[in-house]
Structure 1
Amino acid sequence: ARMSALTRVLSGGARALALRGPGRVSPVLTGRRYSSNPMEDFDLMGAGGSSVIDTYTERGFVVGGVEHRGSVFLYQDMTLLWKVKDIAEVTPASLTAAHALRPPPDLLIVGCGARIGALPRETAEFFSDGETAVEVLDTPNAVATYNILVQEGRSVAAAMILPRAEG
């Protein structure tokens, strides 16, 4: 059976910050590692200075206590506004920054909004060199997965599309 890129990256234990919908964060800790320094238990930046996504609202994402309006791109301690509103707009040009990162992340998680969707073919081909694996998830699950991997110190980037209100 073929393992997805996400399954390979998650093959270790898991520490998670799971989201329960917009604006509601529920901490879920499994396989917790205790340190000799009690202040390390309060490190919300994770390994290597990477910021976790605190939550998201109908306006944007809260990263490291700062609200960023609209969609965002994250890598290590960098958070950029990303002018993408729909999975169809995720083009090679919109992800040029992801392809140019040095060192390249092992995994790029694309949060595609309220529902999971497929990347446009040319975008999937853009990452076919195998340097960075790409995993597409709905944004709530993408946020939770990104936070797990950042907390574990993994090399991960995220491109998060803000879910639109349905109605």
Structure 2
Amino acid sequence: MPPLRELDQAERRIERYGAGGFRISGMSHEGGVLVTSGRVAPWSVAALDALDAAAMAPLIARRDDYEFVLIGCGAQFGLLPKAAKQALRDAGIRFDVMDTGAACRTYNVLVAEGRRVAAALLPVP
């Protein structure tokens, strides 16, 4: 996993990603994860094309915990499937889609700035 060199004062910092998992605030997590400043939860989605309304349900359930969500779609940028995008829009959730590495780095910076942001991250092999 490549280390991330971002601001150390982030409340819940994503330290590494790759090899199918993440290291967040000193703890290892395998597979996809949902990250907010107060919680890290497994996300049982392994690929961008598997994202649908049901996959967005955990994000929607916690929408009061963040202003917007960064969606890390794996090793390369891809388009969010229509059903997933519509589920987020219907719930009034603002989002941005990028590759997982960019989402991790952006999350760290925004949290360090005091922003209320979430990250839904697909693993990178």
TM-score higher than 0.5: yes
Alignment partner for residue 56 of structure 2, among 95, 106, 114? 95
Alignment partner for residue 75 of structure 1, among 22, 33, 36? 36
The structure, 1 or 2, with the larger RCO (C-alpha pairs under 8 Å, 6+ apart) is 2
In the other structure, the counterpart of 2:5 is 26
Alignment partner for residue 115 of structure 1, among 66, 72, 76? 76
**Contact preservation (8 Å) 1:113, 1:163:** yes
Structure 1: which amino acid aligns with 2:62?
Answer: L
Once residues 93 and 76 of structure 1 are traced to their aligned partners in structure 2, the CA distance between those partners, rounded to angstroms, is: 23
| C-alpha displacement of 1:70 | 1.1
**Contact preservation (8 Å) 2:55, 2:84:** no
**Structure 1 residues 92, 108: closer, same or farther in 2, change over 3 A?**
same
The RMSD of aligned alpha carbons is: 1.8
TM-score for both structures, normalised by structure 1: 0.68
Where structure 2 has 5 or more consecutive residues not aligned to the other structure, the ranges are none
Q: Which has the larger radius of gyration?
A: 1
Written as runs of structure 1 = structure 2, the 5 A alignment for 1:53-64 is 53-64=14-25
Structure 1: which amino acid aligns with 2:76?
Answer: R
SS of residue matched to 1:144? helix
Once residues 98 and 73 of structure 1 are traced to their aligned partners in structure 2, the CA distance between those partners, rounded to angstroms, is: 8
In the other structure, the counterpart of 1:17 is none
In the other structure, the counterpart of 2:89 is 128
In the other structure, the counterpart of 2:105 is 144
Once residues 63 and 74 of structure 2 are traced to their aligned partners in structure 1, the CA distance between those partners, rounded to angstroms, is: 27
**Structure 1 residues 91, 130: closer, same or farther in 2, change over 3 A?**
closer
Number of residues paired by the alignment?
A: 125
**Contact preservation (8 Å) 1:104, 1:132:** no
**Contact preservation (8 Å) 2:46, 2:122:** yes
Q: Which runs of 4+ in 1 moved over 6 A?
A: none
Where structure 1 has 5 or more consecutive residues not aligned to the other structure, the ranges are 1-21, 30-41, 46-50
Percent identical pairs in the alignment equals 30
